[in-house]
Amino acid sequence: MVKTEKQSTSRQLESDPKKRELEDGKGKTFCGHWDDRKLACKFPKGVPWVRYHGTYKDLNINLISPGKDPSSGVDSIGTISASLVTYASIQALKPDLIINAGTAGGFKAKGASISDVFLASEVAFHDRRIPIPVFDLYGVGLRPAFSTPNLVKELNLKVGKLSTGDSLDMSQQDEATIFANDATIKDMEGAAIAYVADILKVPAIFVKAVTDIVDGDKPTAEEFLQNLATVTAALDQTVCQVVEFMNGKCLSDL
């Protein structure tokens, strides 16, 4: 997740921790000074979360990774980890904007293809089933993303609704709710981040790159792993373009 006092996202950078470069896909680089030390003084002791901090032009950027699960050693994915790290990051860093950048499954019936990068217009859950009046709406948790019409136009980004759940696969019940949510893309974190950001009154946008076609012929896990490296590169380029566009602008200009 990048978090900045002017913007925020979710990505991890590699190379020299004292100086890192973000490529924008056009031969240019974003050069800044980066510090990859954990925020031991601001995050609770013992958490696996990792923070990278740096500046690019007039932007103060914090990139937060949930890190590895201490018990299993795998990446901390899903809504619980996303909620915790979003809450702690907002409390510690006071960002003006959160950019949740990550991968997602896409639906070809809604026009999604592998490596497409979407900006979510709305986010909702598809696996919180509470069949009681009003509680059912709470379970779905539909929320709009922060509106960025100028960003969409400038970068020619695809726009679609995002549906979130804690499983990589899709059960028949999940599918019915995703259809009801009119979702184009499906992930495991977005709606949880939106919930926390909404409560704490921090605007959030969601940049999602498609790794697998949920309504396609290939098994989801197989297609996800096959495309992950290529799609992550496409996501990197787009996030850099997003950051470049935001530089020097107020939130109302986005």
pLDDT for residue 16:
32
- pLDDT given for residue 45 in this prediction: 86
Continuous segment of H or E residues that includes residue 24: none
3-state secondary structure of 54: strand
The pLDDT of residue 44: 86
| pLDDT band (50, 70, 90) for residue 35 | low
How far is C-alpha 65 from the chain's CA centre? 11
For residues 44 and 199, give the distance between their C-alpha atoms in angstroms, rounded to a whole number: 21
Q: Per residue in 38-68, pLDDT tens? A: 444 478 888 999 998 989 998 999 999 999 9
Is the model's pLDDT at 123 over the cut of 90? Answer: yes
131-150 per-position pLDDT tens digit:
999 999 999 999 999 999 99
Cα–Cα distance, 42 to 189 (Å, whole number) = 23
* C-alpha–C-alpha distance, residues 164 and 242, integer Å: 23
This prediction has a pTM of: 0.85
Tens of pLDDT, residues 12-23: 323 333 333 443
Would you state the pLDDT for residue 31? 45
For residues 251 and 145, the answer to whether their CB atoms sit within 8 Å is no
| Segment 60-113, tens digit of pLDDT | 999 999 999 999 999 999 999 999 999 999 999 999 999 999 999 999 999 999
Statement: residue 11 has pLDDT above 70: no
Q: What is the pLDDT of residue 6?
A: 40
Which residues fall within 8 angstroms of residue 241, CB to CB, at 6 or more apart?
Answer: 24, 25, 155
For residue 22, give every residue at least 6 positions away whose Cβ sits within 8 Å of its Cβ, in sequence order, or none.
13, 29, 30, 32, 56, 236, 240, 243
> pLDDT, tens digit, for every residue of 160-219?
999 999 998 899 999 999 999 999 999 999 999 999 999 999 999 999 999 999 999 999
Note the pLDDT of residue 43: 86
